[in-house]
Structure 1
Amino acid sequence: MKTAIAGGGVGGLALALGLIQRGVDVAVYEQAPEFGQVGADVNLTPNSTRALDGLHTEVGATLRTTGARPRRRLSRRWDSGEVTSDLPMGDSAEERYGAPQLTVHRASLLDALRVLLPDDVLHLGHRLDHVENLDDRVRLHFSSGQPPVEADVLVGADGIHSVVRDSLFGEQDAEYTGLVAYRTVVPGSRLPGVPNLDSFTKWWGPDSERQLVTFPLNRGQDLFVFATAGEEEWTAESWTTTANATEFREQYADFHPEVAEILGACDQVMKSALRVRDPMPRWSDNRVTLLGDACHPMTPFMAQGAGQAIEDAVVLCRALTEGSDVSVPARLRAYEEARHERTARIQLTSRANDWLKSGDEADWLYDYDAWNVPLALPTTERSQQ
């Protein structure tokens, strides 16, 4: 089965690695001419880390070396600093869920996946233009000058502006949430008096718009800061748009003194608009399916964007390789049926932005095992490959 993957992000590379481990012919087509440091830092909760561990032992080992392991997951009031939710992570999470929480830069995660791929798998500089979803094959057309290629199955892992999704279901604009996101990294050496730098901490603001999250990076040497605020007209989405640091601090001037100290140490700040889509009725058509942000983009309030793409990759890898005499469309239906309800729940829960504001019920999210979730693969359908 020749499999084409549009998009060389986290989900696309994870799927490619999983399929290669199972002997599948894979090609990844990525529009960027080269990989760089673009992208936010990634919070890999235990469900994500467990899924990565099953792809290849070296992935988990590398990330455990380069990443940080938050000690706790805390929710705190914006003004008093009162802790309203306190979830043990670190070794406690590994004992409970079989994998730790890790916080890493997106580039480090991509590098850990890419280094394990054969040289001929990843094709950079291939900008997809449109897709022909034929009865017995899929044909990919590129706007970057390369000749068309054909495959038995195509996976659209090409993000919120997915060309594959548009080819299947028509163009649909993502909805602007009215929120912008700020992000920055602060050296830990600048924050000697701030407690809990080794924890994932969410500061809940006085309204649904202003929230601020911090977590350790680079084995605890740095602190990543992610925050949201309301803004009616600013709708750019690039993660490389620079914001004014003074403006950033002013948004949270009434927050707890610990927040003020953290933001006072910020230099360069990036700013982006947050966009979402409602859960899609379906992701697949014939020999084409979607993965990650292409089918279920979500707000970052549960830190599950990358994690759900990784879970998708594992379940789709299994759907494409397990069983025998099963057609490609039936395999894609099994993948979608196994994943749709969970990702829709996370999309809607994250948008509501009240998860773990108080309490500690995280098992339904963190205890999920993508390698063992049931797959409804038919046993009598003959292959149509």
Structure 2
Amino acid sequence: MPSLQQALRVFEQLGILPDLLKIGQPVSGLCYLRQDGTLIGRNDMSGMAERFGFPTMMFPRPELMNVLLSRIKKGRIVMNKRILEVAQDTQYVIAKCADGSLFYADIMIGSDGAYSAVRQRLYLTEAAKGVDIPASDRGRLRFNQFALVGVANLTGTESLKDLSGEASDLFVTVSDKLPYSTWVMPLKDNRIGWGIAGNLLTTQVHDEANFKHSNWGAEYVDEAIEQVLELPCPLGGKFSTLVKATDRELISKVMLEDKCFSTWHGGRIVLLGDACHKLIPFAGQGAIQAILDAVCLSNLLSELPSNRQQDIERAFEAYARIRRPIASAAVDTSILMMKVVSGKTFLNNWCRRLVFNMPKFLYNRVLDKMYAGRPIAYFLPAACLQGTTPDSTPNMTAYPNGLPVRHRRRIQRNMATRDASPAADGGKTAEGNSRSRSCTGSTNASNAPTGLDAASGPPSTATSAAASNAHGSSSGKGNDVVKATGNQRSQRQKQRLVHGSKVTFVATSPSDVSDGGDGDGDGNGDDSQDLSPHYFVAGRSFNQGSFHRGAKPRPRRPSQSGMQTQ
């Protein structure tokens, strides 16, 4: 149940805020209770809308994902892909999947979780080039905390408490003796979100390449649930009522690792979300930090003067420079809140009483520090600048002194060229049709370049490219390759720069994704006038951002000697 306070302005820009307000439950306060149900303290959240423009809200994750997915065109998400190899040179990044399909793109965004396969391959390649990867980045993830999360559906049963109010408190119960704390939050439609967070019996270390989220100790799940069944529920009754009203198969098990990596990018590959900073959920910053990464990165990509590697690396360096300190502070805050909420020492108890009974003026100072940064997407229509607290978001640009004159002139020339061309208006004249792309079939081992030696180079294509989590299924259907004819390449040479770009996302669960590779959802693969290059995102979940603008030069053939294989 993520809270997305800092991202609501971006969602307003995207036009999905009304849908989110329908599924979200406003939070009026945070109540901290002892094991016997007595109150430790309460932090009032009722003034968030006035101070920051929007109330603090809790969203059921499945419904949040459905809203986000509803805005992505069919064909942009490719299912059932498993990356075997990744290669890049100064002109392209290429992914080879287990089914033999190859994907080419200008950049690759690794958003595939804490055990990121993209990150592992990136570090191997960068180390081979002589780049110093810190030992902390190469180390294995350690954890001794876990969380169980579920949503109890009380429809048709006696409700524990009247849940019809417009806003609800989030209740956190701190156990005096048990190594667990519980979280309870009323949701809409007579549902209650709940969670159990606590310590594992022993600290464990997992190899990123072999760890499977679905396999970690079922004994910990059963033990944790059994020990909290008799705890009082803040809404009445016992905690067992919530557990019994929850589908056992839908109880999520989450390992609570925490780490902020130092290396976020290399060449044409960049990391996002948990792949570069893993947070524990005690400060409610996990999902929001990934979204803020996407906003920052998309803003930087929207101002790219070209797709030359030096321009891309400059954007990636700015992205890491802007986001890494903020993400690192969020990791530290999460660890501190975990100790305050779950710690058993005298100092932890003293901190709990202090934090949960903080004076209003001091609590507002803390909120200003946490939520004052509320970024917007520069390339979308402006959001309503609501809230009395000034926005302290850093300027998200790789060119703080403005784009160089040569870049501005180049973009202006090519914008004029694009606007004057029939393709820019979507018109399909006889000349335009003669220059349209031709679809040649699926990219498999029989009709695609074999291996990643790039001896023959990629096809002259601006095809959608994709990648996925290393733990995904190896089966699936590849995208169609869209080749450019000689006339099309000639048009690219004349036009030089074409604004507008697409993103193809990849997930690892089954789907009926196939529309001929053109991304318009009609199944015929006839996106003949789309000359824009493509980015691709390797993702384990659907919380990636979308990039809408960029200035790119025509595709170039990578050199045989310049390709590096990961």
* TM-score range normalised by the length of the shorter chain: 0.7 to 0.9
Q: Which has the higher contact order (CA 8 A, sep 6+)?
A: 2
1:263 to 223, 239, 246: 239
Provide, for residues 18-63 of structure 1, a one-character-per-residue CA deviation record: whole Å limited to 9, x for no partner: xxxxxxxxxxxxxxxxxxxxxxxx2223113233223x11x21111
- Are residues 257 and 151 of structure 1, via their aligned partners in 2, closer, same or farther at CA, if it must alter by over 3 Å? closer
TM-score of the two chains, using structure 1 as the length reference? 0.76
Equivalent position SS for 2:118: helix
Q: CA deviation at 1:375?
A: 2.2
Q: CA deviation at 1:224?
A: 0.7
The root-mean-square deviation of aligned C-alpha atoms, in Å, is: 3.3
Residues 271-350 of structure 1 aligned to structure 2 (within 5 Å): 272=253, 274-322=255-303, 324=305, 327-350=311-334
Equivalent residue letter for 2:367: A
Aligned length: 338
CA distance in 2, matches of 1:209, 1:169: 36
Contact 1:242 1:271 in 2 (8 A): no
- Residue 162 of structure 1 corresponds to 116
Equivalent position SS for 1:180: strand
CA distance in 1, matches of 2:313, 2:110: 15
Provide, for residues 322-350 of structure 1, a one-character-per-residue CA deviation record: whole Å limited to 9, x for no partner: 36468111111111111111111111221
- Are residues 185 and 130 of structure 1, via their aligned partners in 2, closer, same or farther at CA, if it must alter by over 3 Å? same
- Residue 75 of structure 1 corresponds to 32
Q: CA deviation at 1:315?
A: 0.9
Q: CA deviation at 1:243?
A: 7.4
- Are residues 376 and 247 of structure 1, via their aligned partners in 2, closer, same or farther at CA, if it must alter by over 3 Å? same
2:2 to 39, 43, 49: 43
Greater CA deviation, 371-380 or 123-132?
371-380
Residues 1-385 of structure 1 aligned to structure 2 (within 5 Å): 42-54=1-13, 56-57=14-15, 59-89=16-46, 92-143=47-98, 145-170=99-124, 175-188=141-154, 190-193=158-161, 198-206=168-176, 209-217=179-187, 219=188, 221-232=190-201, 237-238=213-214, 247-252=223-228, 255-256=231-232, 258=234, 261-265=237-241, 266-267=243-244, 268-269=247-248, 270=251, 272=253, 274-322=255-303, 324=305, 327-352=311-336, 353=338, 354=340, 357-358=355-356, 359=358, 360=363, 361-371=366-376, 372-378=393-399, 379-380=403-404
Q: CA deviation at 1:282?
A: 2.1
- Are residues 207 and 155 of structure 1, via their aligned partners in 2, closer, same or farther at CA, if it must alter by over 3 Å? farther
Equivalent residue letter for 1:52: F
Contact 1:168 1:285 in 2 (8 A): yes
Equivalent position SS for 1:293: helix
Contact 1:132 1:140 in 2 (8 A): yes
CA distance in 1, matches of 2:64, 2:199: 30
Greater CA deviation, 221-230 or 119-128?
119-128
TM-score of the two chains, using structure 2 as the length reference? 0.53
Provide, for residues 273-319 of structure 1, a one-character-per-residue CA deviation record: whole Å limited to 9, x for no partner: 52424211120112111111111111111122111111111111101
Contact 2:29 2:42 in 1 (8 A): no
Task: Answer with 1 or 2: which has the greater Rg.
Answer: 2
- Are residues 180 and 158 of structure 1, via their aligned partners in 2, closer, same or farther at CA, if it must alter by over 3 Å? same
Greater CA deviation, 283-292 or 59-68?
59-68
- Residue 34 of structure 1 corresponds to none
- Are residues 97 and 114 of structure 1, via their aligned partners in 2, closer, same or farther at CA, if it must alter by over 3 Å? same
Equivalent residue letter for 1:49: L
CA distance in 2, matches of 1:239, 1:43: 24
Provide, for residues 83-136 of structure 1, a one-character-per-residue CA deviation record: whole Å limited to 9, x for no partner: 4231224xx322211122222222222221222122232111122223213212
Contact 1:249 1:260 in 2 (8 A): no
* Unmatched 5+ stretches in structure 1: 1-41
- Are residues 275 and 178 of structure 1, via their aligned partners in 2, closer, same or farther at CA, if it must alter by over 3 Å? same
CA distance in 2, matches of 1:129, 1:339: 29
Contact 1:234 1:273 in 2 (8 A): no
Greater CA deviation, 282-291 or 194-203?
194-203
CA distance in 1, matches of 2:285, 2:8: 12
CA distance in 2, matches of 1:338, 1:252: 42
CA distance in 2, matches of 1:205, 1:366: 29
Contact 1:175 1:275 in 2 (8 A): no
Q: CA deviation at 1:75?
A: 2.7
- Residue 7 of structure 1 corresponds to none
Equivalent position SS for 2:265: coil
Q: CA deviation at 1:79?
A: 3.5
Provide, for residues 242-274 of structure 1, a one-character-per-residue CA deviation record: whole Å limited to 9, x for no partner: 779974454236855638834120224536352
Contact 1:240 1:271 in 2 (8 A): no
- Among all aligned residue pairs of Structure 1 and Structure 2, give the percentage whose two residues are the same amino acid: 18
CA distance in 1, matches of 2:222, 2:121: 43
CA distance in 2, matches of 1:71, 1:240: 35
Provide, for residues 217-254 of structure 1, a one-character-per-residue CA deviation record: whole Å limited to 9, x for no partner: 3x252111111122225977339997799744542368
CA distance in 2, matches of 1:81, 1:384: 61
- Residue 542 of structure 2 corresponds to none
Q: CA deviation at 1:172?
A: 5.1
Greater CA deviation, 288-297 or 193-202?
193-202
CA distance in 1, matches of 2:176, 2:112: 36
Equivalent position SS for 1:179: strand
* Unmatched 5+ stretches in structure 2: 125-136, 205-211, 342-351, 377-392, 408-550, 554-566
- Are residues 338 and 190 of structure 1, via their aligned partners in 2, closer, same or farther at CA, if it must alter by over 3 Å? farther
Greater CA deviation, 267-276 or 111-120?
267-276
CA distance in 2, matches of 1:231, 1:289: 33
Contact 1:203 1:213 in 2 (8 A): yes
